[in-house]
Amino acid sequence: MSLNHSPVACWSSQVQLSLPSGVPEQIELAAAAFVQQWGLFDQNTRDAKPRSDCYQLTYAMDAWQLFPPAQSDGLGKHPLWVDFVDNPRFAQTLLLREPLAKAAGLRANQRPLVVDLTAGLGRDTWALASTGCHVLAFERHPLVHFLLNDGLARARAHPKTCAIAARITLHRGDARQYEGAFIDENNAVAWPIWLVDPMFPERSKSALVKKDMRIFHHLVGEDLDASALFNWARAKPGSRWIVKRPPQAPTLDAEPPALVITSGRVRFDCYLPIAASARK
Ligand SMILES: C[S@@+](CC[C@H](N)C(=O)[O-])C[C@H]1O[C@@H](n2cnc3c(N)ncnc32)[C@H](O)[C@@H]1O
């Protein structure tokens, strides 16, 4: 199967909807709208047979799940889906001493707005919202957005997770469409934290990359325009900019970060405010 590394384009020709019978009507309607909007193959109508070269998007255990193509090498058989309610990795609140909280500069009693420009599967968004921050999250890949939106809807409906989910607003589309009209240039106390975590080329054949993340990488490809995204955000009012990178990766911009926090397989490059007159 050939990989497509340009953002968003062409993914839909690699996905087939496979909806089991008896799903609730609102799920059928959501599926029909999604198929129509993006032109997916649909096993339930015109393409009656399962396509072994396609991802299978299905609804099981009250959640949307994406199974890897039967024909693919190395993507395994497990589905990609978003589960904030029962996945133990989301059970703990992010502590202020943890690298992401430190990178964001979070302190007790201070919970700034976070703008997550690269929401992906929502892990960082969720971690930051668990501390009490409100998070405005953007995801441009329609299928990734679809899965994350589904995970958030279930989290909003569950008593255990509804308070955190209520602090997250998710938008679909390129984050640069967002003008940030609500940011008051003159009120520095309310300036947001900007988070950029672009897709980086997958470490080849690494057993360390979990199967669901391999599917994710395979589907989304590399974010080749990440520097442009960072520079766009850097020109906005903000209290901090965080760029998440693999430890050995070059910085996204020639500007050296004010602070670097490395932890395991992740590096956070942190940038502090620049004078308004110096913004690019
Ligand atoms: C490495 S993933 C982010 C993972 C995420 N931090 C998490 O915790 O799950 C990068 C994601 O950013 C998205 N993305 C990249 N550039 C974007 C942009 N300009 N606007 C919106 N989404 C973008 C990609 O589609 C991809 O899903």
Residue spans of the domains in the chain: they are: 11-67, 88-278
CB distance 150 to ligand 1 below 6 Å: no
Q: Compute the distance between CA of residue 173 and CA of residue 8 in angstroms, rounded to an integer.
A: 10
Q: Compute the distance between CA of residue 183 and CA of residue 194 in angstroms, rounded to an integer.
A: 12
CB distance 199 to ligand 1 below 6 Å: yes
For ligand 1, atom 4: residue with the closest CA: 120
The pair of three-digit structure tokens given for residue 112, joined into one six-digit string: 């700034």
Tell me the residue type at 87: N
Which atom of ligand 1 sits closest to the CA of residue 124?
8
CA-based radius of gyration for the chain: 19
Which atom of ligand 1 sits closest to the CA of residue 138?
21
Q: Which numeric CATH code is attached to 88-278?
A: 3.40.50.150
Residue 75's pLDDT is: 85
For ligand 1, atom 2: residue with the closest CA: 120
Q: Compute the distance between CA of residue 276 and CA of residue 261 in angstroms, rounded to an integer.
A: 26
- To test the ligand 1 pocket, which listed residue (81, 135, 140, 169) has its Cβ within 8 A of the most ligand atoms? 140
Q: What is the DSSP letter of 100?
A: H
Query: Which of 225, 223, 226, 214 has its CA nearest to residue 1?
Result: 214
- SS3 at position 234: helix
Partners of residue 15 on adjacent β-strands:
55
Q: Compute the distance between CA of residue 29 and CA of residue 278 in angstroms, rounded to an integer.
A: 49
CB distance 42 to ligand 1 below 6 Å: no
What string of pLDDT tens digits covers the 280 residues of the chain?
Answer: 333 444 456 888 889 999 888 999 999 999 999 999 998 887 776 556 888 889 999 999 999 999 999 888 788 888 999 999 999 999 999 999 999 999 999 999 889 999 999 999 999 999 999 999 999 999 999 999 999 999 999 999 999 999 999 999 999 999 999 877 668 888 888 899 999 999 987 665 555 567 778 889 888 989 999 999 999 999 999 999 999 999 999 999 889 999 999 999 999 999 999 865 565 5
Residue 72's pLDDT is: 80
Residue 2's pLDDT is: 35
The pair of three-digit structure tokens given for residue 97, joined into one six-digit string: 């001493």
Q: How far is CA 144 from the centre of its chain?
A: 7
Report field, pTM of the whole predicted structure over 0.85: yes
- SS3 at position 162: helix
